[in-house]
Structure 1
Amino acid sequence: MTTDPIADYLTRLRNAIKANHRIVEVPASKLKKEMTKILYDKGYIQGYKFVDAPVGASIKIALKYHPATRTPAITHLERVSKPGLRQYRKASELPRVLNGLGIAVISTSHGVMTDKEARTNSVGGEVLCYVY
């Protein structure tokens, strides 16, 4: 059992990108599924598949690379809110990642969404991570 499953999820993605893997498998949870959907919708990953099992469901994520240069679509993953120090922000105080070029994943009372969606819905929440 891990103390911080979200940090473990991000670290598995980060390590797979550094090793130039095409597919990475991570343990599944509802929050990780929602984060994976956001990464897919915003174009940071090529695809994903939820593998259901009686014990130990997982998510298979196909990473996205530029075809000619083999540079990954995700250059930086950073965990913001940690179990020891949670980071909550109001809708007006939500961060802009790389001046709008990156995304911040926010856990709100209306579900998990990006910083832009949270600002549009004027809802704040816990800032989980930055992706760019």
Structure 2
Amino acid sequence: MDSIADMFSAIKNAISRRRDYVDVPSSKMKEAILELLKKEGYIKDWERLQGEGYTKGTQYILRVHLKYLDPRKQQSAVRELLRVSKPGRRVYTPKHAIRYVQKGLGIAILSTDAGVLTDHQARKLGKGGEVIAYVW
């Protein structure tokens, strides 16, 4: 039902199993979210896998390379991924009411008319929108 929540669950499960990467089905929204997570330093990288065995019809597979803060993979860069807006309950916020996540140490991911932005970028541009998730 909720493909973004499924992606977040797959990432959290892979972190708890100390995996190097996780594969998730693709969508443009997921790609935008993963690009933000990469820019903010929560994941190493992500890539779109193409070719035999990597496509389901027209849908590609996205490989998310996870980031750990120590070589033994004891601590991940992602502490928590919290889905806020869900298909059954959409959560919108105006530009003046965007809350700080973990007192500014985390990020909120918003879907605005200017694209998918972090809370810092949305405040700078003066944009409100749908709050997709909180990450810290």
TM class, shorter-length: over 0.9
Q: 1:20 is matched with which residue? A: 18
Q: Distance in 2 between matches of 1:51 and 1:69?
A: 27
Identity between Structure 1 and Structure 2 (%): 38
Q: Does 1:116 align with 2:120?
A: yes
Q: 1:88 is matched with which residue? A: 92
Task: For residue 58 of structure 2, give the secondary structure of its aligned residue in structure 1.
Answer: coil
2:77 equivalent among 59, 64, 73: 73
Q: 1:44 is matched with which residue? A: 42
Question: Mind listing any 5+ residue stretches in structure 1 that lack a counterpart?
Answer: none
**1:22-65 Cα deviation digits (max 9, x unpaired):** 11001000000000000000000011111244533011011000
Q: Distance in 1 between matches of 2:21 and 2:3?
A: 19
Q: Distance in 2 between matches of 1:50 and 1:105?
A: 21
Q: Distance in 2 between matches of 1:105 and 1:112?
A: 7
Q: Does 1:100 align with 2:98?
A: no
**1:57-115 Cα deviation digits (max 9, x unpaired):** 01101100012452100010100011111100001111100111000000001100100
Q: Distance in 1 between matches of 2:72 and 2:58?
A: 39
Which amino acid is the alignment partner of residue 69 of structure 2? H
Q: Which stretch of the first structure deviates more once superposed, 51-60 or 24-33?
A: 51-60
Q: Distance in 1 between matches of 2:28 and 2:3?
A: 11
Q: Which stretch of the first structure deviates more once superposed, 51-60 or 101-110?
A: 51-60
Which amino acid is the alignment partner of residue 97 of structure 2? E
Q: Distance in 2 between matches of 1:31 and 1:120?
A: 22
